[in-house]
Copies of this chain bind each other. A is one copy, B any other.
Protein backbone atom coordinates (compact mmCIF):
# COMPACT_ATOMS: atom_id res chain seq x y z
CA UNK A 1 0.00 0.00 0.00
CA UNK A 2 1.44 3.38 -0.95
CA UNK A 3 2.01 6.10 1.61
CA UNK A 4 -0.66 8.17 -0.05
CA UNK A 5 -3.14 5.33 0.28
CA UNK A 6 -2.22 4.99 3.92
CA UNK A 7 -2.70 8.64 4.71
CA UNK A 8 -5.91 8.72 2.71
CA UNK A 9 -7.20 5.73 4.63
CA UNK A 10 -6.17 7.44 7.84
CA UNK A 11 -8.15 10.53 6.89
CA UNK A 12 -11.19 8.44 6.05
CA UNK A 13 -10.88 6.63 9.32
CA UNK A 14 -10.58 10.04 10.97
CA UNK A 15 -13.88 11.15 9.53
CA UNK A 16 -15.46 7.87 10.46
CA UNK A 17 -14.30 8.18 14.05
CA UNK A 18 -15.67 11.71 14.15
CA UNK A 19 -19.06 10.14 13.50
CA UNK A 20 -18.59 7.51 16.17
CA UNK A 21 -17.80 10.26 18.67
CA UNK A 22 -21.34 11.53 18.09
CA UNK A 23 -20.41 15.16 17.45
CA UNK A 24 -23.09 17.62 16.40
CA UNK A 25 -21.75 17.41 12.89
CA UNK A 26 -21.91 13.65 12.70
CA UNK A 27 -24.19 13.53 9.70
CA UNK A 28 -22.13 16.08 7.87
CA UNK A 29 -18.93 14.23 8.47
CA UNK A 30 -20.48 11.04 7.23
CA UNK A 31 -21.37 12.90 4.06
CA UNK A 32 -17.87 14.29 3.71
CA UNK A 33 -16.55 10.78 4.08
CA UNK A 34 -18.90 9.40 1.45
CA UNK A 35 -17.91 12.27 -0.78
CA UNK A 36 -14.30 11.21 -0.71
CA UNK A 37 -15.10 7.61 -1.53
CA UNK A 38 -17.69 7.74 -4.29
CA UNK A 39 -17.74 10.80 -6.49
CA UNK A 40 -21.21 11.75 -7.66
CA UNK A 41 -21.77 11.82 -11.40
CA UNK A 42 -21.07 15.19 -13.04
CA UNK A 43 -24.75 15.89 -13.61
CA UNK A 44 -25.29 16.05 -9.88
CA UNK A 45 -23.35 19.31 -9.63
CA UNK A 46 -25.14 22.37 -8.28
CA UNK A 47 -24.69 25.73 -9.98
CA UNK A 48 -22.82 28.47 -8.12
CA UNK A 49 -22.72 32.23 -8.54
CA UNK A 50 -19.52 33.93 -7.38
CA UNK A 51 -20.16 37.44 -6.07
CA UNK A 52 -17.11 39.71 -6.09
CA UNK A 53 -14.19 39.01 -8.39
CA UNK A 54 -11.22 40.03 -6.25
CA UNK A 55 -8.02 38.07 -5.80
CA UNK A 56 -9.56 35.38 -3.60
CA UNK A 57 -12.20 34.61 -6.23
CA UNK A 58 -9.75 34.75 -9.11
CA UNK A 59 -6.81 32.91 -7.59
CA UNK A 60 -8.50 30.41 -5.29
CA UNK A 61 -12.22 29.95 -5.69
CA UNK A 62 -12.70 29.82 -9.46
CA UNK A 63 -9.75 27.42 -9.95
CA UNK A 64 -11.13 25.25 -7.12
CA UNK A 65 -14.20 24.23 -9.09
CA UNK A 66 -11.99 21.86 -11.10
CA UNK A 67 -11.59 19.87 -7.85
CA UNK A 68 -15.32 19.88 -7.02
CA UNK A 69 -17.56 16.87 -7.30
CA UNK A 70 -20.89 18.53 -6.49
CA UNK A 71 -20.36 22.15 -7.48
CA UNK A 72 -19.84 24.04 -10.72
CA UNK A 73 -19.53 27.73 -11.45
CA UNK A 74 -22.65 28.95 -13.26
CA UNK A 75 -22.67 32.74 -12.82
CA UNK A 76 -20.43 35.68 -11.96
CA UNK A 77 -21.39 38.92 -10.23
CA UNK A 78 -19.06 41.90 -10.60
CA UNK A 79 -18.96 45.65 -11.05
CA UNK A 80 -16.40 45.14 -13.82
CA UNK A 81 -18.01 43.67 -16.90
CA UNK A 82 -14.68 43.28 -18.75
CA UNK A 83 -13.08 41.28 -15.98
CA UNK A 84 -16.21 39.16 -15.64
CA UNK A 85 -16.29 38.46 -19.38
CA UNK A 86 -12.70 37.24 -19.37
CA UNK A 87 -13.24 34.99 -16.37
CA UNK A 88 -16.52 33.69 -17.81
CA UNK A 89 -14.69 32.70 -20.98
CA UNK A 90 -11.94 31.00 -18.99
CA UNK A 91 -14.30 29.01 -16.81
CA UNK A 92 -17.02 28.30 -19.39
CA UNK A 93 -19.69 30.50 -17.84
CA UNK A 94 -22.42 31.59 -20.24
CA UNK A 95 -22.09 35.36 -20.64
CA UNK A 96 -25.84 35.77 -20.06
CA UNK A 97 -25.02 34.66 -16.51
CA UNK A 98 -22.84 37.66 -15.78
CA UNK A 99 -24.52 40.01 -13.32
CA UNK A 100 -23.69 43.33 -11.70
CA UNK A 101 -24.65 44.72 -8.30
CA UNK A 102 -27.76 46.40 -9.68
CA UNK A 103 -29.35 43.39 -11.37
CA UNK A 104 -28.00 40.97 -8.74
CA UNK A 105 -31.50 40.31 -7.39
CA UNK A 106 -32.66 38.96 -10.77
CA UNK A 107 -30.59 35.86 -9.97
CA UNK A 108 -33.91 34.71 -8.52
CA UNK A 109 -35.03 34.05 -12.10
CA UNK A 110 -31.97 32.01 -12.99
CA UNK A 111 -32.57 28.33 -12.35
CA UNK A 112 -28.98 27.48 -13.25
CA UNK A 113 -27.88 29.06 -9.96
CA UNK A 114 -28.51 27.15 -6.72
CA UNK A 115 -25.89 28.66 -4.42
CA UNK A 116 -24.37 32.13 -4.12
CA UNK A 117 -20.86 32.58 -2.74
CA UNK A 118 -20.29 36.06 -1.25
CA UNK A 119 -16.64 37.07 -1.69
CA UNK A 120 -17.06 40.81 -1.12
CA UNK A 121 -15.48 43.19 1.41
CA UNK A 122 -16.79 42.49 4.92
CA UNK A 123 -19.16 45.44 5.09
CA UNK A 124 -21.08 44.14 2.05
CA UNK A 125 -21.59 40.60 3.38
CA UNK A 126 -24.87 41.31 5.16
CA UNK A 127 -26.57 43.14 2.30
CA UNK A 128 -25.61 40.68 -0.42
CA UNK A 129 -26.29 37.62 1.72
CA UNK A 130 -29.74 38.91 2.64
CA UNK A 131 -30.52 39.85 -0.98
CA UNK A 132 -29.28 36.41 -2.03
CA UNK A 133 -31.58 34.67 0.44
CA UNK A 134 -34.47 36.84 -0.69
CA UNK A 135 -33.68 35.80 -4.26
CA UNK A 136 -34.36 32.26 -3.09
CA UNK A 137 -30.75 31.10 -3.23
CA UNK A 138 -28.61 29.28 -0.71
CA UNK A 139 -25.66 31.38 0.43
CA UNK A 140 -22.06 30.63 1.34
CA UNK A 141 -20.55 33.80 2.82
CA UNK A 142 -16.84 34.52 3.39
CA UNK A 143 -15.54 35.11 6.91
CA UNK A 144 -15.84 37.31 8.89
CA UNK A 145 -19.60 36.88 8.48
CA UNK A 146 -20.27 40.63 8.85
CA UNK A 147 -19.08 43.67 10.77
CA UNK A 148 -21.53 43.41 13.68
CA UNK A 149 -23.47 40.71 15.51
CA UNK A 150 -26.68 42.54 14.54
CA UNK A 151 -25.85 42.10 10.86
CA UNK A 152 -25.11 38.41 11.46
CA UNK A 153 -28.50 37.99 13.13
CA UNK A 154 -30.25 39.70 10.23
CA UNK A 155 -28.49 37.35 7.79
CA UNK A 156 -29.54 34.29 9.76
CA UNK A 157 -33.12 35.55 9.93
CA UNK A 158 -33.23 36.24 6.19
CA UNK A 159 -32.06 32.74 5.31
CA UNK A 160 -34.56 31.22 7.72
CA UNK A 161 -37.35 33.39 6.32
CA UNK A 162 -36.49 32.25 2.79
CA UNK A 163 -36.07 28.66 3.92
CA UNK A 164 -32.61 28.58 2.39
CA UNK A 165 -29.23 27.39 3.71
CA UNK A 166 -26.62 29.80 5.04
CA UNK A 167 -23.04 28.70 5.57
CA UNK A 168 -19.92 30.68 6.56
CA UNK A 169 -16.71 29.89 4.69
CA UNK A 170 -14.55 28.52 7.50
CA UNK A 171 -12.58 26.46 5.02
CA UNK A 172 -10.10 25.08 7.57
CA UNK A 173 -12.83 23.06 9.21
CA UNK A 174 -13.20 21.04 6.00
CA UNK A 175 -9.64 20.04 5.18
CA UNK A 176 -7.78 16.94 6.40
CA UNK A 177 -4.98 18.44 8.53
CA UNK A 178 -7.32 20.58 10.60
CA UNK A 179 -9.80 17.70 10.84
CA UNK A 180 -7.00 15.53 12.22
CA UNK A 181 -6.39 18.19 14.90
CA UNK A 182 -10.09 17.93 15.79
CA UNK A 183 -9.97 14.13 15.89
CA UNK A 184 -6.87 14.05 18.10
CA UNK A 185 -8.45 16.56 20.48
CA UNK A 186 -11.83 14.81 20.64
CA UNK A 187 -10.32 11.36 21.12
CA UNK A 188 -7.91 12.76 23.73
CA UNK A 189 -5.09 11.04 21.93
CA UNK A 190 -2.51 12.90 24.04
CA UNK A 191 -4.81 13.39 27.02
CA UNK A 192 -6.93 16.35 28.07
CA UNK A 193 -6.37 19.63 26.20
CA UNK A 194 -4.80 22.23 28.49
CA UNK A 195 -3.44 24.96 26.22
CA UNK A 196 -4.19 26.09 22.67
CA UNK A 197 -1.89 28.50 20.91
CA UNK A 198 -3.25 29.97 17.70
CA UNK A 199 -1.44 32.66 15.79
CA UNK A 200 -1.46 34.35 12.43
CA UNK A 201 0.26 37.38 11.03
CA UNK A 202 1.33 38.92 7.76
CA UNK A 203 2.68 42.26 6.64
CA UNK A 204 -0.15 44.08 4.95
CA UNK A 205 0.79 46.30 2.03
CA UNK A 206 -1.23 48.96 0.20
CA UNK A 207 -2.62 51.43 2.78
CA UNK A 208 -5.62 52.18 0.54
CA UNK A 209 -7.04 48.63 0.46
CA UNK A 210 -10.47 47.96 1.92
CA UNK A 211 -9.05 45.74 4.68
CA UNK A 212 -7.55 48.86 6.26
CA UNK A 213 -10.77 50.88 6.00
CA UNK A 214 -12.79 50.56 9.21
CA UNK A 215 -16.16 51.07 7.53
CA UNK A 216 -15.51 48.30 5.02
CA UNK A 217 -13.48 45.86 7.13
CA UNK A 218 -15.11 46.36 10.53
CA UNK A 219 -11.70 46.16 12.24
CA UNK A 220 -8.10 45.22 11.63
CA UNK A 221 -6.08 42.03 11.82
CA UNK A 222 -8.48 40.45 14.32
CA UNK A 223 -11.43 40.64 11.89
CA UNK A 224 -9.41 39.30 8.99
CA UNK A 225 -7.01 36.70 10.38
CA UNK A 226 -7.33 36.72 14.16
CA UNK A 227 -10.71 35.16 13.45
CA UNK A 228 -8.83 32.06 12.26
CA UNK A 229 -7.04 31.80 15.61
CA UNK A 230 -10.30 32.30 17.49
CA UNK A 231 -12.21 29.85 15.33
CA UNK A 232 -9.41 27.26 15.57
CA UNK A 233 -9.34 27.48 19.37
CA UNK A 234 -13.10 26.78 19.31
CA UNK A 235 -13.21 24.03 16.70
CA UNK A 236 -10.16 22.16 17.94
CA UNK A 237 -11.41 22.15 21.52
CA UNK A 238 -15.10 21.83 20.72
CA UNK A 239 -15.69 24.26 23.60
CA UNK A 240 -16.96 27.84 23.87
CA UNK A 241 -14.88 30.44 25.73
CA UNK A 242 -16.22 31.94 28.96
CA UNK A 243 -13.59 34.61 29.68
CA UNK A 244 -11.36 36.80 27.55
CA UNK A 245 -8.28 38.98 28.16
CA UNK A 246 -6.70 41.02 25.39
CA UNK A 247 -3.93 43.47 24.57
CA UNK A 248 -3.60 45.51 21.40
CA UNK A 249 -0.82 47.49 19.75
CA UNK A 250 -0.74 49.64 16.64
CA UNK A 251 2.39 51.43 15.41
CA UNK A 252 1.77 55.18 15.65
CA UNK A 253 1.84 57.14 12.40
CA UNK A 254 1.93 54.05 10.18
CA UNK A 255 -0.23 55.06 7.19
CA UNK A 256 -1.64 51.53 7.01
CA UNK A 257 -3.11 51.69 10.49
CA UNK A 258 -4.93 54.99 10.63
CA UNK A 259 -8.28 53.26 11.17
CA UNK A 260 -7.77 49.66 12.28
CA UNK A 261 -5.59 47.81 14.77
CA UNK A 262 -2.27 46.23 13.76
CA UNK A 263 -1.53 43.58 16.43
CA UNK A 264 -3.79 41.97 18.99
CA UNK A 265 -3.06 39.22 21.51
CA UNK A 266 -5.92 37.53 23.31
CA UNK A 267 -6.40 34.88 25.96
CA UNK A 268 -9.41 32.59 26.28
CA UNK A 269 -10.67 30.46 29.13
CA UNK A 270 -12.87 27.43 28.37
CA UNK A 271 -15.22 25.54 30.71
CA UNK A 272 -12.98 22.44 31.00
CA UNK A 273 -10.10 24.55 32.30
CA UNK A 274 -8.43 24.71 28.90
CA UNK A 275 -6.90 28.14 28.18
CA UNK A 276 -5.74 29.66 24.90
CA UNK A 277 -3.07 32.22 23.99
CA UNK A 278 -3.79 33.70 20.56
CA UNK A 279 -2.48 36.48 18.36
CA UNK A 280 -2.97 38.18 15.06
CA UNK A 281 -1.03 40.83 13.21
CA UNK A 282 -0.99 42.91 10.05
CA UNK A 283 2.52 44.07 10.95
CA UNK A 284 4.79 41.04 10.95
CA UNK A 285 5.47 38.08 8.75
CA UNK A 286 4.81 34.72 10.35
CA UNK A 287 3.10 31.46 9.53
CA UNK A 288 -0.38 30.62 10.71
CA UNK A 289 -0.13 28.15 13.56
CA UNK A 290 -2.37 26.14 15.84
CA UNK A 291 -0.83 24.10 18.64
CA UNK A 292 -2.88 22.01 21.05
CA UNK A 293 -1.02 21.09 24.23
CA UNK A 294 -2.52 18.18 26.12
CA UNK A 295 -1.53 16.40 29.31
CA UNK A 296 0.88 14.06 27.51
CA UNK A 297 2.28 16.17 24.67
CA UNK A 298 1.22 18.43 21.86
CA UNK A 299 0.10 18.40 18.23
CA UNK A 300 0.21 21.33 15.88
CA UNK A 301 -0.21 22.66 12.40
CA UNK A 302 2.24 25.22 11.11
CA UNK A 303 1.25 26.55 8.69
CA UNK A 304 -2.33 25.83 9.68
CA UNK A 305 -4.36 28.07 7.37
CA UNK A 306 -2.33 28.45 4.21
CA UNK A 307 -4.17 27.37 1.08
CA UNK A 308 -1.52 24.70 0.53
CA UNK A 309 1.48 23.15 2.25
CA UNK A 310 -0.02 22.53 5.70
CA UNK A 311 2.33 20.68 8.02
CA UNK A 312 1.61 18.72 11.18
CA UNK A 313 3.99 17.97 14.05
CA UNK A 314 3.24 15.78 17.03
CA UNK A 315 5.31 15.78 20.25
CA UNK A 316 4.66 12.56 22.11
CA UNK A 317 6.88 10.66 24.54
CA UNK A 318 9.57 13.27 23.90
CA UNK A 319 9.66 12.38 20.21
CA UNK A 320 8.70 14.73 17.38
CA UNK A 321 6.79 13.20 14.48
CA UNK A 322 5.42 14.64 11.25
CA UNK A 323 2.35 12.70 10.15
CA UNK A 324 1.13 13.45 6.65
CA UNK A 325 -2.37 13.83 5.25
CA UNK A 326 -3.73 14.48 1.78
CA UNK A 327 -3.32 18.09 0.68
CA UNK A 328 -6.82 18.92 -0.54
CA UNK A 329 -8.25 22.12 -2.01
CA UNK A 330 -9.94 23.84 0.93
CA UNK A 331 -12.36 25.78 -1.25
CA UNK A 332 -13.45 22.73 -3.23
CA UNK A 333 -14.11 20.85 0.01
CA UNK A 334 -16.19 23.61 1.55
CA UNK A 335 -18.17 24.28 -1.63
CA UNK A 336 -18.93 20.59 -2.06
CA UNK A 337 -19.97 20.41 1.58
CA UNK A 338 -22.45 23.24 0.97
CA UNK A 339 -23.75 21.60 -2.23
CA UNK A 340 -24.21 18.36 -0.35
CA UNK A 341 -26.14 20.12 2.41
CA UNK A 342 -28.42 21.66 -0.19
CA UNK A 343 -28.90 18.40 -2.10
CA UNK A 344 -29.65 16.43 1.05
CA UNK A 345 -31.26 19.13 3.18
CA UNK A 346 -28.71 19.16 5.96
CA UNK A 347 -27.40 21.96 8.14
CA UNK A 348 -23.85 22.99 7.20
CA UNK A 349 -21.06 22.23 9.67
CA UNK A 350 -20.39 26.00 9.84
CA UNK A 351 -23.80 27.68 9.60
CA UNK A 352 -24.60 31.36 10.16
CA UNK A 353 -24.70 30.72 13.91
CA UNK A 354 -20.98 29.82 13.79
CA UNK A 355 -20.17 33.17 12.19
CA UNK A 356 -22.36 35.02 14.70
CA UNK A 357 -20.60 33.33 17.62
CA UNK A 358 -17.18 34.44 16.39
CA UNK A 359 -18.47 37.95 15.78
CA UNK A 360 -19.77 38.25 19.35
CA UNK A 361 -16.43 36.96 20.66
CA UNK A 362 -14.51 39.41 18.47
CA UNK A 363 -16.52 42.25 20.00
CA UNK A 364 -15.65 40.89 23.46
CA UNK A 365 -11.94 40.70 22.53
CA UNK A 366 -11.97 44.35 21.45
CA UNK A 367 -13.78 45.26 24.67
CA UNK A 368 -11.20 43.41 26.80
CA UNK A 369 -8.34 45.14 24.96
CA UNK A 370 -9.93 48.57 25.36
CA UNK A 371 -10.97 48.26 29.00
CA UNK A 372 -8.06 46.24 30.40
CA UNK A 373 -10.58 43.95 32.08
CA UNK A 374 -11.37 40.27 31.78
CA UNK A 375 -14.60 40.07 29.77
CA UNK A 376 -16.98 37.26 30.70
CA UNK A 377 -19.01 35.95 27.78
In the assembled complex, A243 has its CB within 8 A of some CB on chain B: yes
In the assembled complex, A194 has its CB within 8 A of some CB on chain B: yes
Say whether A275 contacts B247, CB under 8 Å: yes
The CA-CA distance from A273 to B265 in the complex, in Å, is: 12
In the assembled complex, A226 has its CB within 8 A of some CB on chain B: no
Residue-wise, chain A 147-185 has the 8 Å CB interface mask toward B (1 for contact) of: 000000000000000000000000000000000000000
Say whether A294 contacts B284, CB under 8 Å: yes
Interface residues of A in 275-322 (CB under 8 A from B): 275, 277-279, 281, 283-287, 293-298, 315
Give the oligomeric copy count.
2
In the assembled complex, A339 has its CB within 8 A of some CB on chain B: no
Say whether B297 contacts A293, CB under 8 Å: no
In the assembled complex, A210 has its CB within 8 A of some CB on chain B: no
In the assembled complex, A372 has its CB within 8 A of some CB on chain B: yes
Say whether A281 contacts B245, CB under 8 Å: no
List chain B residues, Cβ under 8 A from A283: 194, 295
Say whether A284 contacts B277, CB under 8 Å: no
Say whether A249 contacts B275, CB under 8 Å: yes
The CA-CA distance from A286 to B297 in the complex, in Å, is: 6
Of the four ranges (under 10, 10 to 19, 20 to 34, 35 or more), the interface on chain A belongs to 35 or more
Q: How far is the CB of A136 from chain B (nearest CB, A)?
A: 44
List chain B residues, Cβ under 8 A from A14: none
In the assembled complex, A30 has its CB within 8 A of some CB on chain B: no
List chain B residues, Cβ under 8 A from A246: 245
Residue-wise, chain A 231-246 has the 8 Å CB interface mask toward B (1 for contact) of: 0000000000001011
In the assembled complex, A18 has its CB within 8 A of some CB on chain B: no
Say whether B275 contacts A285, CB under 8 Å: no
* Residue from the list B203, B265, B372 in contact with A277, Cβ < 8 A: B265
Q: How far is the CB of A315 from chain B (nearest CB, A)?
A: 7
Q: How far is the CB of A194 from chain B (nearest CB, A)?
A: 4
List chain B residues, Cβ under 8 A from A201: 194-195, 293
A195-B265, A286-B298, A372-B374 given; 16 more Cβ-contact pairs under 8 Å: A191-B284, A194-B283, A195-B201, A197-B197, A197-B279, A245-B245, A247-B267, A249-B273, A249-B275, A265-B275, A265-B277, A283-B295, A285-B297, A286-B293, A286-B297, A373-B373
Q: Could you give 6 example pairs across A and B, Cβ below 8 Å?
A: A194-B263, A194-B281, A194-B283, A194-B284, A201-B293, A373-B374
Measuring CB to CB, which residues of chain A are less than 8 angstroms from any residue of chain B? 191, 194-195, 197, 199, 201, 203, 243, 245-247, 249, 251, 263, 265, 267, 269, 273-275, 277-279, 281, 283-287, 293-298, 315, 372-374
